[in-house]
A = this chain, B = another copy of it.
Amino acid sequence: MLVVMQNDATDEQIRRVVDVIKEMGYEGKPMPGAQRTTVGLVGNDGRVDGSRLESLEGVAEIIHVSRPYKQVSREWRVENTLVEIAPGVVFGGTDIPIIAGPCSVESEAQIVESALAVREAGGSALRGGAFKPRSSPYSFQGLGKRGLEMLALARRESGLPIVTEALDEEGANLVARYADCIQIGARNMQNYSLLRAVGRIEKPVLLKRGMAATITDLLLSAEYILAEGNTQVILCERGIRSFDSATRNLFDLTAIPLVQKLSHLPMIADPSHGTGLRDKVIPMGRAAIAAGADGLLVEMHPHPDQAMSDGGQSLYPDQLGRLVREARAIAEAIGRSITPVPGTVAAARG
């Protein structure tokens, strides 16, 4: 940590900063410059809270040089963490799983039809919301526990593992009983009670980046889960807020190589929410793979024009098939491959 002094800071003010750093248990080294003095805090393990220093007289700014996170960092663990949500469906290795399915579970028929269509198209996991975080309290909020039961049925029928969202601790425990991976949505990325709760459950967690979250914020939220003992965390870029309403969100694909350099956790991408536009999902899904994504999360609905939510950004089943084929070609061009459908010959060989 570096404490930048104002250009007119007095010697006494600089001494006071050095003293407070000593009180905090570290060493402070003043380094005079042409315009201003900087005091370095030596011995910081990344957990120093700079607020005491920030408020001292003569201090202009605190600059954090150490990373504020720890267990999620590649400096903590060099090799990729592999997150296996079902036999053969592994995130973080050479193979790239594609998770697809409708925004919401709407009925037994709909979710089973969806699961079979995902399988048919070449996807390796099924998504579908039973608990839906909707901006409006009057929008469809999901079928809840019944939706989870329908997802379990769809898994039996299709052989695909299930990824579905939880909104609170109670829901997380319920989801953990039915699903293979608990999703934490963008709106709850900084719901620390929920992060701690899933950190105590032994299930893989898919953590989506919040709409205003920096990369550091995302990694700190993952750190909450690891700090509770659960290291099975998949991160997901899904678009952030920006000024152009031409797309629903601003899909930040650079986040993929950035996170992969800073952390050992797998990083996937959701081009459906990332763009909000059906006809942009295929090119941006391809782009995510080319950028190095460890997986895709895609909305597909057997009948988008009857969907109860997000119909406008859901792919048709044949479009999902096309996305998988193009993703496969891109993956191969960079020396990777798309995870085969669970239970197929390709999967057995893989």
- Residues of A bordering B, CB below 8 Å: 2, 4, 7-8, 20, 29, 31-36, 38, 40-47, 49-56, 62-63, 65-70, 75, 133-140, 167-169, 171, 187-188, 190-194, 210-212, 214-217, 220, 223-224, 227, 240-247, 250-254, 256-258, 261, 274-275, 278-280, 283-284, 286-292, 304-314, 326, 329-330, 332-334
Contacts and interface: CB of A to CB of B under 8 A. Distances in A.
A51 B133 contact: no
Contact of A49 (B139, B192, B243, B280): B139
A312 B51 contact: yes
B69 A136 contact: yes
A137 B278 CA distance: 32
A70 B138 CA distance: 10
B66 A33 contact: yes
Contact of A330 (B215, B274, B330): B330
A35 to B, nearest CB: 4
Contacts of A288: 287
Nearest to A225: B137
| A-B pairs with lowest CB-CB distance, top 10 | A54-B312, A212-B212, A187-B190, A290-B290, A329-B333, A168-B193, A51-B311, A287-B291, A55-B311, A211-B212
Contacts of A134: 192
A49 B220 CA distance: 32
A67 B312 contact: no
Nearest to A139: B49
A333 B227 CA distance: 42
B279 A257 contact: yes
Given A135-B68, A140-B49, A250 B252 contact: yes
Contacts of A286: 290-291, 334
A296 to B, nearest CB: 12
A59 B317 CA distance: 20
B223 A137 contact: yes
A193 B211 CA distance: 19
Given A244-B215, A307-B52, A62 B253 contact: no
Contacts of A55: 278, 304-305, 307, 311-312, 314
Contacts of A250: 240, 242, 250, 252, 254
Contacts of A187: 190-192
